[in-house]
Amino acid sequence: MISKDAVLAWIRTLADVYHENRQYLTELDSPIGDADHGINMDRGFQKVLEKLPGVEDKDIGSILKTVGMTLVSTVGGAGGPLYGTFFMRAGMAIDAKEELSAEDLVTMFQAALDGVIQRGKAELNDKTMVDAITPAVEALREAVSSGASLSEALSKAAAAAEEGMKATIPMLAKKGRASYLGERSIGHQDPGATSSYLLFKTAYETWGQAN
Amino acid sequence: MKKLINKPEDVVKEELEGIAKAHPDIVKVFFNPNYIVRADAPVQGKVGIVSGGGSGHEPMHGGFVGMGMLDAACPGEVFTSPTPDQMLEATKAVNGGAGVLHIVKNYTGDIMNFEMAAEMAQAEGIEVESVVIDDDVAVQDSLYTAGRRGVGTTVLAEKICGAAAEKGYDLKKVADLCRRVNANGRSMGMALTSCTVPMKGEPTFELAEDEMEIGIGIHGEPGRERMKIKPASEVVKLLAEPVIEDLPFKAGDEVLAFVNSMGGTPLIELYIVYNELAKICEARGLKIVRNLIGPYITSLEMAGVSITLLKMDDEMKELWDAPVKTPGLRWGV
């Protein structure tokens, strides 16, 4: 099981990870976007850190919803509504729980993915964050239903996200600013898929080790 | 990076403070969330018009808030869409009971944030219509892209629709007019130099001293083609022909010709561009009945221009000429 403290630790670590990768994500966003993804994610998660103490005693669903609402109002760009929706839907899906089972994680991430698809209208292979999140959620579900340990399942999810992220390199972008480049978007890794991979990687590193 | 700023993270906030101090007779500026509204908002019984987008395009949009144009503008971070909470507060602040029009430039972030804001405003009982501006012919419009970008026509739509709202058009009529302006406007831009986002500190892209980028976006997004620099007469042809052929503009059409600086190009060059554009229009039988020349939708300090042609009818001409009093555009008052 993943405790509420572990969920809070995941969010705090994510803030550190996005801070450390601020330049990297922004650089990925320069050739095919508008060079702000790392800056925006960092600004949003720093704001999340400020908001967390006020909701720490609430249930996990409320905490995740607060993260989502904070991201919507601070990230801007496309990342704001997309990651905001990701966390809001994740929070709504697990509601008032105080700890999460492996099955809860599958439900939570699936709801988050559904929200991102609904908001951004992207499909698989459009060269977006959906390309990292979809395989991660599928790998997680498969591992959990075949009885893998939580650590193993999260490791598989992170690996699938990484593979999905790398698979965006040869893709032709069909959504977002990168799509304006047409053929020239080929050969660049999608920054959104990269920040999504970091989210699953951090989940594995935060939750996998203890379980 | 060489810029007249204090701290990169304070750029937008301090710009807004400057606007508040400079134009208290025209606008009110609110912080956290950031938005600019006309000083007399909400105007009872008038359709409110809200636009917004990333900062760095000044005077658009904040400089177009005032009588006869926008009721509110939501500035995001530099080149970053503003957020739904800003748009919601701005929408509430300008709702005079006749509903609110959101004028949205076609960028993925802007679309999603305005969509969330419109949903929230509607949930609070405010009637909202949204019109998306997508006039950049440099981008192929297809199912496989995010669609054409919103550029120069945005400025013209804000002026014309602002005048219509001032005249008492209802929400549906203002929105239909805005769609008509968008349907009749086409633009294309080019860059001679890159620009530097303050928080990034380095140029968004590299262009050699003898190169230019044709079809550039207003955030430094690469365009159609990079090539060696050419004389103004040839550059204007490269921009004007795709614009004219796209609509297409036909002999006998009355047009507004808008020559816009990307920020770094001085007026002397804009007039050279306008001269070339006027020659092309004349050769094609297009009658320039109105013009706008200057930096109105910029891309920080980028050197370059965009040209926009709008096919005008009598109603648009009348609304274009109507009085406007904003920090960035002012006549007839």
Q: How confident is the model at residue A3 (pLDDT cuts 50, 70, 90)?
A: very high
Q: For the residues B271-280, what does the mean pLDDT come to?
A: 98
Question: Between these two residues, A66 and B222, which has the higher pLDDT value?
Answer: A66
Chosen from B108, B195, B221 to mutate, greatest number of chain A CBs within 10 A: B108
According to the model, what pLDDT value does residue A181 have? 81
Do A74 and B139 lie within an 8 Å CB cutoff? no
Q: How confident is the model at residue B38 (pLDDT cuts 50, 70, 90)?
A: very high
Selecting from A77, A172, A175 the residue whose C-beta is nearest the C-beta of B80 gives A77
Do B220 and A35 lie within an 8 Å CB cutoff? yes
For the stretch A19-33, pLDDT in tens is 999 999 999 998 888
Work out the percent of chain A whose per-residue pLDDT is above 90. 87
Per CATH, the number for B185-312 is 3.30.1180.20
Do A36 and B197 lie within an 8 Å CB cutoff? yes
According to the model, what pLDDT value does residue B222 have? 75
* A105–chain B nearest CA distance, Å: 26
Residue A172: list chain B partners with CB under 8 A.
144
Chosen from A41, A89, A180, A190 to mutate, greatest number of chain B CBs within 10 A: A180
Cβ atoms of B207 and B102 closer than 8 Å: no
For the stretch A100-149, pLDDT in tens is 999 999 999 999 999 999 999 999 999 999 999 999 999 999 999 999 99
Selecting from B107, B112, B199 the residue whose C-beta is nearest the C-beta of A39 gives B199
* B21–chain A nearest CA distance, Å: 25
According to the model, what pLDDT value does residue B102 have? 98
Distance between alpha carbon B15 and the CA centroid of its chain, in Å? Answer: 18
- Among B138, B196, B108, B302, smallest CA distance to A184 is for B138
Domain A2-208: CATH superfamily is DhaL domain (1.25.40.340)
Element (H, E) at B305: strand B304-311
A78 touches chain B (CB under 8 A): yes
β-pairing, B48-55 vs B72-78, is parallel
Selecting from B79, B145, B204 the residue whose C-beta is nearest the C-beta of A180 gives B145
CA-nearest residue of chain B to A118?
B112
Residue A118: list chain B partners with CB under 8 A.
none
Task: Give yes or no for residue B143 having a pLDDT over 70.
Answer: no
For the stretch A20-66, pLDDT in tens is 999 999 999 988 887 889 999 999 999 999 999 999 999 999 999 99
According to the model, what pLDDT value does residue B123 have? 84
Residue A36: list chain B partners with CB under 8 A.
77-80, 197, 199-200
Residue A120: list chain B partners with CB under 8 A.
108, 112
- Kindly report the number of other CB atoms within 10 A of residue B33's CB atom: 17
Distance (Å, rounded) from C-alpha B65 to C-alpha B311? 24
Residue B222: list chain A partners with CB under 8 A.
180-181, 184
Q: For the residues B33-47, what does the mean pLDDT come to?
A: 98
Do B113 and A81 lie within an 8 Å CB cutoff? yes
According to the model, what pLDDT value does residue A34 have? 78
According to the model, what pLDDT value does residue B142 have? 62
Q: How confident is the model at residue B306 (pLDDT cuts 50, 70, 90)?
A: very high
Cis peptide before B248 (omega within 30 of 0): yes
Q: How confident is the model at residue B319 (pLDDT cuts 50, 70, 90)?
A: very high
According to the model, what pLDDT value does residue B298 have? 98
B134 touches chain A (CB under 8 A): no
Which active-site residues of B does the annotation give? 57, 219
A35 touches chain B (CB under 8 A): yes
A175 touches chain B (CB under 8 A): yes
Q: How many CA atoms lie within 13 A of A11 on its CB side?
A: 29
For the stretch B84-108, pLDDT in tens is 999 999 999 999 999 999 999 999 8
Per CATH, the number for B8-184+320-331 is 3.40.50.10440
User: Which pair of tokens denotes residue B111?
Assistant: 């679309």
Domain boundaries, chain B: 8-184+320-331, 185-312
Do B145 and A40 lie within an 8 Å CB cutoff? no
A184 touches chain B (CB under 8 A): yes
Q: How does DSSP classify residue B171?
A: H
Q: Tell me the pLDDT of chain B averaged across its residues.
A: 96
Q: How confident is the model at residue A155 (pLDDT cuts 50, 70, 90)?
A: very high
Q: How confident is the model at residue B201 (pLDDT cuts 50, 70, 90)?
A: very high
Task: Give yes or no for residue B213 having a pLDDT over 80.
Answer: yes
Residue A35: list chain B partners with CB under 8 A.
79, 197, 200, 204, 220
According to the model, what pLDDT value does residue B144 have? 67
Q: For the residues A59-74, what does the mean pLDDT come to?
A: 95
Selecting from B76, B140, B200 the residue whose C-beta is nearest the C-beta of A182 gives B140
- Among B114, B82, B85, B111, smallest CA distance to B100 is for B114
Task: Give yes or no for residue A168 having a pLDDT over 90.
Answer: yes
Q: Find where tokens 């994510």 sit.
A: A14
Q: How many CB pairs under 8 A join A and B?
A: 102
Q: Tell me the pLDDT of chain A averaged across its residues.
A: 94
Domain boundaries, chain A: 2-208
According to the model, what pLDDT value does residue B95 have? 98
Chosen from A26, A28, A73, A74 to mutate, greatest number of chain B CBs within 10 A: A73
Do B199 and A176 lie within an 8 Å CB cutoff? no
DSSP one-letter string for B56-122: SSTTTTGGGBSBTSBSEEEEEEETS---HHHHHHHHHHH--SS-EEEEEES-HHHHHHHHHHHHHHH
Q: For the residues B252-257, what does the mean pLDDT come to?
A: 98
At residue B133, the 3 state secondary structure works out as strand
Cis peptide before B61 (omega within 30 of 0): yes
Cis peptide before B323 (omega within 30 of 0): no
